[in-house]
Structure 1
Amino acid sequence: MGEKILGREDFLKAIAEALQPLDYVYGMWQCGSSAFKRVDQWSDIDIVVDADDHKVRDVFPTIDKALEALAAIEISYECPQPMSEGAYQKVYKLEGISRFMVIEVCVVKHSGSEKFLQREIHGEVLVHFDKENLTEVKPIDEEKFYAQLNTRLENVEKLFNIYVLIKFLHSNA
Protein backbone atom coordinates (compact mmCIF):
# COMPACT_ATOMS: atom_id res chain seq x y z
CA MET A 1 0.00 0.00 0.00
CA GLY A 2 1.22 3.49 -0.84
CA GLU A 3 1.58 6.39 1.53
CA LYS A 4 -1.32 8.80 1.75
CA ILE A 5 -0.56 12.18 0.21
CA LEU A 6 -1.55 14.88 2.65
CA GLY A 7 -3.54 17.84 1.38
CA ARG A 8 -5.18 21.03 2.58
CA GLU A 9 -8.23 19.32 4.00
CA ASP A 10 -6.11 16.98 6.14
CA PHE A 11 -4.38 19.91 7.84
CA LEU A 12 -7.58 21.92 8.24
CA LYS A 13 -9.43 18.94 9.71
CA ALA A 14 -6.61 18.19 12.18
CA ILE A 15 -6.45 21.79 13.37
CA ALA A 16 -10.23 22.15 13.68
CA GLU A 17 -10.55 18.86 15.57
CA ALA A 18 -7.81 19.93 18.00
CA LEU A 19 -9.24 23.40 18.64
CA GLN A 20 -13.01 22.91 18.65
CA PRO A 21 -13.17 21.07 22.02
CA LEU A 22 -11.21 23.83 23.80
CA ASP A 23 -13.50 26.01 25.92
CA TYR A 24 -11.34 29.09 25.26
CA VAL A 25 -11.55 28.82 21.45
CA TYR A 26 -14.76 30.18 19.90
CA GLY A 27 -14.30 29.77 16.18
CA MET A 28 -12.08 28.92 13.23
CA TRP A 29 -12.46 30.02 9.63
CA GLN A 30 -10.47 30.33 6.41
CA CYS A 31 -9.92 33.47 4.40
CA GLY A 32 -7.48 34.08 1.55
CA SER A 33 -7.55 32.00 -1.63
CA SER A 34 -10.16 29.58 -0.23
CA ALA A 35 -12.54 32.42 0.59
CA PHE A 36 -12.16 33.78 -2.94
CA LYS A 37 -12.56 30.29 -4.49
CA ARG A 38 -9.11 30.54 -6.06
CA VAL A 39 -7.24 27.62 -4.54
CA ASP A 40 -4.55 26.17 -6.78
CA GLN A 41 -1.23 24.36 -6.37
CA TRP A 42 0.46 27.58 -5.22
CA SER A 43 -2.09 28.50 -2.56
CA ASP A 44 -1.25 28.66 1.10
CA ILE A 45 -3.76 28.09 3.90
CA ASP A 46 -5.00 31.16 5.77
CA ILE A 47 -6.76 30.42 9.05
CA VAL A 48 -8.27 32.75 11.64
CA VAL A 49 -8.97 31.46 15.17
CA ASP A 50 -10.92 33.40 17.81
CA ALA A 51 -9.76 32.75 21.41
CA ASP A 52 -10.03 34.17 24.92
CA ASP A 53 -7.88 37.28 25.21
CA HIS A 54 -5.55 35.78 27.82
CA LYS A 55 -5.26 32.43 25.98
CA VAL A 56 -4.35 33.66 22.48
CA ARG A 57 -0.80 32.30 22.55
CA ASP A 58 -1.97 29.01 24.12
CA VAL A 59 -3.60 28.13 20.80
CA PHE A 60 -0.29 27.71 18.96
CA PRO A 61 1.09 24.71 20.91
CA THR A 62 -2.21 22.91 20.28
CA ILE A 63 -1.88 23.58 16.55
CA ASP A 64 1.79 22.52 16.65
CA LYS A 65 0.79 19.17 18.12
CA ALA A 66 -2.05 18.66 15.61
CA LEU A 67 0.23 19.37 12.64
CA GLU A 68 3.10 17.26 14.00
CA ALA A 69 0.74 14.28 14.12
CA LEU A 70 0.56 14.55 10.31
CA ALA A 71 4.03 15.80 9.31
CA ALA A 72 7.12 17.21 10.98
CA ILE A 73 7.27 20.98 11.20
CA GLU A 74 10.21 21.96 8.99
CA ILE A 75 10.14 25.57 10.13
CA SER A 76 7.75 27.91 11.85
CA TYR A 77 7.75 31.57 12.70
CA GLU A 78 5.66 33.22 15.39
CA CYS A 79 5.43 36.95 14.91
CA PRO A 80 6.90 38.60 18.02
CA GLN A 81 4.18 41.24 18.17
CA PRO A 82 0.57 41.48 17.08
CA MET A 83 0.25 41.77 13.28
CA SER A 84 -2.69 44.07 13.92
CA GLU A 85 -4.39 45.04 17.16
CA GLY A 86 -5.22 41.88 19.08
CA ALA A 87 -4.14 39.49 16.30
CA TYR A 88 -1.17 37.14 16.66
CA GLN A 89 0.25 35.12 13.78
CA LYS A 90 2.31 31.99 13.33
CA VAL A 91 3.40 30.55 9.99
CA TYR A 92 4.20 26.87 9.41
CA LYS A 93 6.07 24.97 6.69
CA LEU A 94 5.83 21.19 7.00
CA GLU A 95 8.37 18.60 5.83
CA GLY A 96 7.55 16.62 2.71
CA ILE A 97 4.73 18.95 1.71
CA SER A 98 4.69 21.33 -1.27
CA ARG A 99 6.85 24.36 -0.59
CA PHE A 100 3.82 26.48 -1.42
CA MET A 101 1.65 24.77 1.22
CA VAL A 102 2.41 27.24 3.98
CA ILE A 103 -0.08 27.39 6.82
CA GLU A 104 -0.69 30.87 8.22
CA VAL A 105 -2.65 30.98 11.47
CA CYS A 106 -3.91 34.26 12.89
CA VAL A 107 -5.34 34.06 16.41
CA VAL A 108 -7.53 37.02 17.31
CA LYS A 109 -8.59 38.14 20.76
CA HIS A 110 -12.22 37.33 21.52
CA SER A 111 -12.84 40.92 22.67
CA GLY A 112 -11.13 42.39 19.60
CA SER A 113 -13.04 44.09 16.82
CA GLU A 114 -10.87 42.80 13.93
CA LYS A 115 -11.92 39.29 12.90
CA PHE A 116 -10.89 39.47 9.20
CA LEU A 117 -14.46 38.90 8.03
CA GLN A 118 -15.03 41.80 5.64
CA ARG A 119 -16.28 40.12 2.47
CA GLU A 120 -14.78 42.80 0.21
CA ILE A 121 -11.32 42.26 1.68
CA HIS A 122 -11.25 38.64 2.88
CA GLY A 123 -13.83 36.93 0.64
CA GLU A 124 -16.58 34.52 1.70
CA VAL A 125 -14.85 32.96 4.69
CA LEU A 126 -15.16 29.19 5.09
CA VAL A 127 -16.26 28.46 8.64
CA HIS A 128 -14.99 25.28 10.30
CA PHE A 129 -16.76 26.00 13.59
CA ASP A 130 -18.35 29.00 15.24
CA LYS A 131 -19.60 28.64 18.81
CA GLU A 132 -20.97 32.19 19.19
CA ASN A 133 -22.07 33.37 15.72
CA LEU A 134 -18.83 35.33 15.35
CA THR A 135 -18.65 34.96 11.59
CA GLU A 136 -21.76 36.94 10.80
CA VAL A 137 -20.49 39.29 8.11
CA LYS A 138 -21.26 42.96 8.57
CA PRO A 139 -21.16 45.41 5.66
CA ILE A 140 -17.95 47.34 5.25
CA ASP A 141 -17.88 51.07 5.99
CA GLU A 142 -16.55 52.11 2.57
CA GLU A 143 -15.72 55.68 3.59
CA LYS A 144 -13.67 54.51 6.57
CA PHE A 145 -12.07 51.74 4.50
CA TYR A 146 -10.91 54.09 1.73
CA ALA A 147 -9.66 56.65 4.27
CA GLN A 148 -7.56 53.92 5.95
CA LEU A 149 -6.37 52.67 2.56
CA ASN A 150 -5.27 56.16 1.51
CA THR A 151 -3.43 56.64 4.81
CA ARG A 152 -1.70 53.29 4.35
CA LEU A 153 -0.68 54.17 0.78
CA GLU A 154 0.74 57.50 1.95
CA ASN A 155 2.75 55.75 4.67
CA VAL A 156 4.10 53.11 2.28
CA GLU A 157 5.08 55.82 -0.22
CA LYS A 158 6.96 57.76 2.50
CA LEU A 159 8.75 54.62 3.66
CA PHE A 160 9.63 53.67 0.07
CA ASN A 161 11.07 57.14 -0.57
CA ILE A 162 13.23 56.91 2.54
CA TYR A 163 14.77 53.64 1.33
CA VAL A 164 15.28 55.01 -2.18
CA LEU A 165 17.14 57.97 -0.66
CA ILE A 166 19.25 55.68 1.54
CA LYS A 167 20.14 53.52 -1.46
CA PHE A 168 21.03 56.61 -3.51
CA LEU A 169 23.23 58.03 -0.73
CA HIS A 170 24.90 54.66 -0.17
CA SER A 171 25.64 54.12 -3.87
CA ASN A 172 27.18 57.61 -4.18
CA ALA A 173 29.28 57.42 -1.01
Structure 2
Amino acid sequence: MITEKDITETLKNELEPLNYIYAFWIEGSFAMGYADEYSDIDYWIDVDDDHQKDALEHVEIALRNLGEIDGRDENGNGNPKLGQIVYHIKDSSPYLVLDFNWQLHSRDRKEYHYIKNDIVEGASVIFDKDDVVRFEEADDQEIINNKENCKKECDYRYSQHIRVRKYINRGAFAECYAYYNKYVIEPLVMLLRLKYTPLYPYHYLLHISMHMPCAIVERLEKLMQVKSLNDIENRMREAEEWYHELHEELY
Protein backbone atom coordinates (compact mmCIF):
# COMPACT_ATOMS: atom_id res chain seq x y z
CA MET A 1 0.00 0.00 0.00
CA ILE A 2 1.14 3.56 -0.75
CA THR A 3 2.83 5.27 2.19
CA GLU A 4 3.65 8.85 3.14
CA LYS A 5 7.29 8.20 2.22
CA ASP A 6 6.28 7.03 -1.27
CA ILE A 7 4.18 10.14 -1.87
CA THR A 8 6.71 12.59 -0.45
CA GLU A 9 9.61 11.13 -2.42
CA THR A 10 7.60 11.11 -5.65
CA LEU A 11 6.55 14.74 -5.18
CA LYS A 12 10.10 15.77 -4.29
CA ASN A 13 11.52 14.15 -7.43
CA GLU A 14 8.91 15.88 -9.60
CA LEU A 15 8.98 19.33 -8.01
CA GLU A 16 12.56 20.00 -6.95
CA PRO A 17 13.97 20.35 -10.51
CA LEU A 18 11.42 23.07 -11.33
CA ASN A 19 13.05 26.49 -10.98
CA TYR A 20 9.74 28.18 -10.16
CA ILE A 21 9.11 26.09 -7.04
CA TYR A 22 11.24 27.50 -4.24
CA ALA A 23 10.37 25.27 -1.31
CA PHE A 24 8.50 22.11 -0.37
CA TRP A 25 7.71 21.15 3.21
CA ILE A 26 5.36 19.18 5.45
CA GLU A 27 3.30 20.43 8.38
CA GLY A 28 1.08 18.61 10.84
CA SER A 29 1.49 15.21 12.45
CA PHE A 30 4.15 13.93 10.05
CA ALA A 31 6.28 17.01 10.71
CA MET A 32 5.72 16.86 14.47
CA GLY A 33 6.45 13.15 14.79
CA TYR A 34 3.12 11.81 16.05
CA ALA A 35 1.57 10.53 12.82
CA ASP A 36 -0.22 7.20 12.90
CA GLU A 37 -2.21 5.07 10.45
CA TYR A 38 -5.10 7.56 10.60
CA SER A 39 -3.08 10.68 9.80
CA ASP A 40 -3.45 12.80 6.70
CA ILE A 41 -0.48 14.65 5.17
CA ASP A 42 -0.21 18.44 5.11
CA TYR A 43 1.99 19.50 2.20
CA TRP A 44 3.12 23.03 1.31
CA ILE A 45 4.99 24.53 -1.62
CA ASP A 46 6.18 28.06 -2.31
CA VAL A 47 5.73 28.83 -6.01
CA ASP A 48 6.45 31.71 -8.37
CA ASP A 49 3.36 33.86 -8.86
CA ASP A 50 3.25 33.24 -12.62
CA HIS A 51 3.58 29.46 -12.41
CA GLN A 52 0.89 28.35 -9.99
CA LYS A 53 -1.00 26.41 -12.67
CA ASP A 54 2.20 24.78 -13.96
CA ALA A 55 3.17 23.69 -10.45
CA LEU A 56 -0.20 22.06 -9.80
CA GLU A 57 0.00 20.20 -13.11
CA HIS A 58 3.30 18.69 -11.98
CA VAL A 59 1.85 17.84 -8.58
CA GLU A 60 -0.90 15.85 -10.26
CA ILE A 61 1.55 14.20 -12.67
CA ALA A 62 3.50 12.99 -9.63
CA LEU A 63 0.41 11.71 -7.86
CA ARG A 64 -0.81 9.87 -10.97
CA ASN A 65 2.53 8.09 -11.10
CA LEU A 66 1.43 6.48 -7.84
CA GLY A 67 -2.15 5.73 -8.85
CA GLU A 68 -5.46 7.13 -9.97
CA ILE A 69 -6.57 10.32 -8.22
CA ASP A 70 -10.05 9.45 -6.95
CA GLY A 71 -10.54 12.54 -4.80
CA ARG A 72 -9.86 16.18 -5.64
CA ASP A 73 -11.45 19.06 -3.76
CA GLU A 74 -10.19 22.61 -4.29
CA ASN A 75 -10.91 25.00 -1.44
CA GLY A 76 -10.73 28.76 -1.48
CA ASN A 77 -9.70 30.59 1.68
CA GLY A 78 -10.13 34.21 0.65
CA ASN A 79 -6.41 34.91 0.52
CA PRO A 80 -5.18 35.45 -3.06
CA LYS A 81 -1.66 34.43 -2.03
CA LEU A 82 -2.74 31.01 -0.74
CA GLY A 83 -4.48 27.95 -2.15
CA GLN A 84 -5.42 24.41 -1.21
CA ILE A 85 -6.46 21.19 -2.92
CA VAL A 86 -7.28 18.00 -1.04
CA TYR A 87 -6.37 14.79 -2.88
CA HIS A 88 -6.79 11.08 -2.39
CA ILE A 89 -5.10 8.32 -4.37
CA LYS A 90 -7.17 5.26 -5.22
CA ASP A 91 -6.37 2.09 -3.25
CA SER A 92 -4.41 4.01 -0.62
CA SER A 93 -5.70 4.12 2.95
CA PRO A 94 -8.95 6.10 3.16
CA TYR A 95 -7.31 8.11 5.94
CA LEU A 96 -4.28 9.03 3.83
CA VAL A 97 -5.73 12.28 2.53
CA LEU A 98 -3.28 14.73 0.95
CA ASP A 99 -3.92 18.28 2.07
CA PHE A 100 -1.86 20.10 -0.55
CA ASN A 101 -1.31 23.82 0.06
CA TRP A 102 0.61 26.49 -1.79
CA GLN A 103 1.67 30.06 -1.26
CA LEU A 104 2.80 32.51 -3.91
CA HIS A 105 6.42 33.56 -3.67
CA SER A 106 5.38 37.21 -3.36
CA ARG A 107 3.62 36.56 -0.06
CA ASP A 108 4.96 38.88 2.63
CA ARG A 109 7.38 36.82 4.72
CA LYS A 110 6.40 38.76 7.81
CA GLU A 111 3.05 36.95 7.64
CA TYR A 112 4.45 33.53 8.45
CA HIS A 113 7.20 31.71 10.29
CA TYR A 114 7.58 28.76 12.64
CA ILE A 115 8.58 28.84 16.28
CA LYS A 116 11.74 27.05 17.35
CA ASN A 117 11.09 23.95 19.49
CA ASP A 118 7.32 24.44 19.21
CA ILE A 119 5.14 21.51 20.31
CA VAL A 120 2.03 22.70 18.44
CA GLU A 121 3.09 23.64 14.92
CA GLY A 122 6.22 22.91 12.93
CA ALA A 123 7.64 22.08 9.54
CA SER A 124 9.74 19.31 8.06
CA VAL A 125 11.57 20.81 5.08
CA ILE A 126 11.94 18.61 2.00
CA PHE A 127 13.80 21.27 0.04
CA ASP A 128 14.20 25.04 0.32
CA LYS A 129 16.03 27.05 -2.34
CA ASP A 130 15.39 30.56 -0.99
CA ASP A 131 15.20 30.47 2.81
CA VAL A 132 11.40 30.34 2.62
CA VAL A 133 10.80 28.19 5.71
CA ARG A 134 12.08 30.17 8.68
CA PHE A 135 12.22 29.32 12.38
CA GLU A 136 12.26 32.10 14.96
CA GLU A 137 12.23 32.44 18.72
CA ALA A 138 8.89 32.78 20.48
CA ASP A 139 7.65 36.34 20.91
CA ASP A 140 7.27 37.03 24.64
CA GLN A 141 5.11 40.06 23.95
CA GLU A 142 2.65 37.92 22.00
CA ILE A 143 2.31 35.64 25.02
CA ILE A 144 1.68 38.65 27.27
CA ASN A 145 -0.95 39.96 24.87
CA ASN A 146 -2.62 36.56 24.68
CA LYS A 147 -2.86 36.38 28.46
CA GLU A 148 -4.46 39.81 28.71
CA ASN A 149 -6.93 39.23 25.88
CA CYS A 150 -7.92 35.80 27.15
CA LYS A 151 -8.36 37.05 30.71
CA LYS A 152 -11.14 39.36 29.60
CA GLU A 153 -12.90 36.63 27.65
CA CYS A 154 -12.47 33.98 30.35
CA ASP A 155 -13.64 36.28 33.13
CA TYR A 156 -16.74 37.16 31.13
CA ARG A 157 -17.60 33.54 30.38
CA TYR A 158 -17.05 32.51 33.98
CA SER A 159 -19.46 35.24 35.05
CA GLN A 160 -22.13 33.56 32.89
CA HIS A 161 -22.23 30.26 34.79
CA ILE A 162 -25.68 31.29 35.99
CA ARG A 163 -26.89 30.46 32.48
CA VAL A 164 -25.91 26.84 33.04
CA ARG A 165 -27.58 26.72 36.44
CA LYS A 166 -30.73 28.24 34.95
CA TYR A 167 -31.17 25.29 32.61
CA ILE A 168 -30.30 22.80 35.33
CA ASN A 169 -33.21 24.24 37.30
CA ARG A 170 -35.44 24.12 34.22
CA GLY A 171 -34.57 20.48 33.59
CA ALA A 172 -33.51 21.25 30.00
CA PHE A 173 -30.50 19.08 29.23
CA ALA A 174 -29.84 20.15 25.62
CA GLU A 175 -29.62 23.87 26.41
CA CYS A 176 -27.73 23.19 29.63
CA TYR A 177 -25.19 21.02 27.80
CA ALA A 178 -24.58 23.75 25.21
CA TYR A 179 -24.03 26.42 27.85
CA TYR A 180 -21.89 24.08 29.96
CA ASN A 181 -19.49 23.70 27.06
CA LYS A 182 -19.52 27.39 26.16
CA TYR A 183 -19.24 28.95 29.61
CA VAL A 184 -17.52 26.25 31.68
CA ILE A 185 -15.40 23.96 29.50
CA GLU A 186 -14.20 26.42 26.85
CA PRO A 187 -12.77 29.07 29.23
CA LEU A 188 -11.18 26.31 31.29
CA VAL A 189 -9.48 24.95 28.18
CA MET A 190 -8.35 28.45 27.27
CA LEU A 191 -6.57 28.81 30.62
CA LEU A 192 -4.99 25.39 30.15
CA ARG A 193 -3.79 26.52 26.73
CA LEU A 194 -2.28 29.64 28.28
CA LYS A 195 -0.40 27.46 30.73
CA TYR A 196 0.85 24.76 28.35
CA THR A 197 0.72 26.33 24.86
CA PRO A 198 0.58 30.10 25.48
CA LEU A 199 1.05 31.03 21.83
CA TYR A 200 -2.10 29.09 20.90
CA PRO A 201 -4.87 29.95 23.39
CA TYR A 202 -7.60 29.57 20.76
CA HIS A 203 -6.67 26.10 19.52
CA TYR A 204 -9.25 24.73 21.97
CA LEU A 205 -9.28 20.90 21.76
CA LEU A 206 -7.32 20.55 18.52
CA HIS A 207 -4.67 17.86 19.15
CA ILE A 208 -4.84 18.70 22.84
CA SER A 209 -3.78 15.16 23.77
CA MET A 210 -0.44 15.87 22.11
CA HIS A 211 0.06 19.21 23.83
CA MET A 212 -0.65 18.54 27.49
CA PRO A 213 0.29 15.93 30.11
CA CYS A 214 -1.87 12.79 30.11
CA ALA A 215 -3.14 13.46 33.63
CA ILE A 216 -4.37 16.91 32.60
CA VAL A 217 -6.14 15.56 29.52
CA GLU A 218 -7.75 12.77 31.55
CA ARG A 219 -8.97 15.27 34.14
CA LEU A 220 -10.45 17.43 31.40
CA GLU A 221 -12.09 14.45 29.68
CA LYS A 222 -13.79 13.52 32.95
CA LEU A 223 -15.38 16.98 33.07
CA MET A 224 -16.60 16.58 29.49
CA GLN A 225 -18.19 13.17 30.04
CA VAL A 226 -21.63 14.22 31.20
CA LYS A 227 -24.86 12.31 30.60
CA SER A 228 -27.35 14.08 32.83
CA LEU A 229 -28.14 17.37 34.51
CA ASN A 230 -26.85 15.91 37.75
CA ASP A 231 -23.53 15.11 36.04
CA ILE A 232 -23.28 18.69 34.79
CA GLU A 233 -24.00 20.11 38.23
CA ASN A 234 -21.31 17.95 39.86
CA ARG A 235 -18.71 18.44 37.13
CA MET A 236 -19.35 22.16 37.13
CA ARG A 237 -18.23 22.43 40.75
CA GLU A 238 -15.04 20.53 39.92
CA ALA A 239 -14.43 22.72 36.87
CA GLU A 240 -14.88 25.91 38.89
CA GLU A 241 -12.30 24.78 41.44
CA TRP A 242 -9.82 24.00 38.68
CA TYR A 243 -10.55 27.27 36.92
CA HIS A 244 -9.76 29.23 40.10
CA GLU A 245 -6.50 27.31 40.56
CA LEU A 246 -5.38 28.10 37.01
CA HIS A 247 -6.53 31.71 37.19
CA GLU A 248 -4.54 32.29 40.37
CA GLU A 249 -1.48 30.60 38.86
CA LEU A 250 -1.60 32.59 35.62
CA TYR A 251 -2.61 35.99 36.97
If the TM-score is normalised by the length of the shorter chain, which range does it land in?
0.7 to 0.9
Structure 2 residue aligned with 1:39: 35
2:126 to 125, 128, 149: 128
- Give me the TM-score of the superposition, normalised by structure 2: 0.52
**1:54 to partner: Cα distance:** 2.3
Q: Report the Cα distance in structure 2 between the residues aligned to 1:109 and 1:69, rounded to whole angstroms.
A: 25
2:88 to 67, 74, 93: 93
Q: Does the 8 Å contact 1:31/1:46 carry over to 2?
A: yes
Q: Is the alpha carbon distance of 1:140 and 1:55 closer, same or farther for their aligned partners in structure 2, counting shifts above 3 Å? A: farther
Q: Is the alpha carbon distance of 1:23 and 1:104 closer, same or farther for their aligned partners in structure 2, counting shifts above 3 Å? A: same
Gap regions ≥5 residues in structure 1: 155-173
Gap regions ≥5 residues in structure 2: 154-251
**1:139 to partner: Cα distance:** 2.8
1:17-166 to 2 correspondence within 5 Å?
17-79=13-75, 81-82=76-77, 84=79, 86-112=81-107, 113=109, 114-115=111-112, 117-119=114-116, 120=118, 121-123=120-122, 125-141=123-139, 143-144=141-142
Q: Does the 8 Å contact 1:108/1:115 carry over to 2?
A: no
Q: Does the 8 Å contact 1:118/1:140 carry over to 2?
A: yes
**1:144 to partner: Cα distance:** 4.7
Q: Percent identity?
A: 28
- String of CA shifts for 1:135-169, please: whole Å, max 9, x gaps: 2312344545766xx69xx9xxxxxxxxxxxxxxx
- Give me the TM-score of the superposition, normalised by structure 1: 0.73
Greater fraction of residues in strand: 1
**1:133 to partner: Cα distance:** 2.0
**1:132 to partner: Cα distance:** 1.4
More contact order relative to length (CA 8 Å, sep ≥ 6): 1
**Bigger Rg over Cα:** 2
Counterpart amino acid of 2:93? S
Q: Does the 8 Å contact 2:113/2:136 carry over to 1?
A: no
Q: Report the Cα distance in structure 2 between the residues aligned to 1:46 and 1:139, rounded to whole angstroms.
A: 23
Q: Report the Cα distance in structure 1 between the residues aligned to 2:49 and 2:39, rounded to whole angstroms.
A: 30
Q: Does the 8 Å contact 2:115/2:136 carry over to 1?
A: yes
Report how many aligned residue pairs link the two structures.
145
**1:56 to partner: Cα distance:** 2.4
Q: Does the 8 Å contact 1:77/1:91 carry over to 2?
A: yes
Q: Report the Cα distance in structure 2 between the residues aligned to 1:45 and 1:77, rounded to whole angstroms.
A: 15
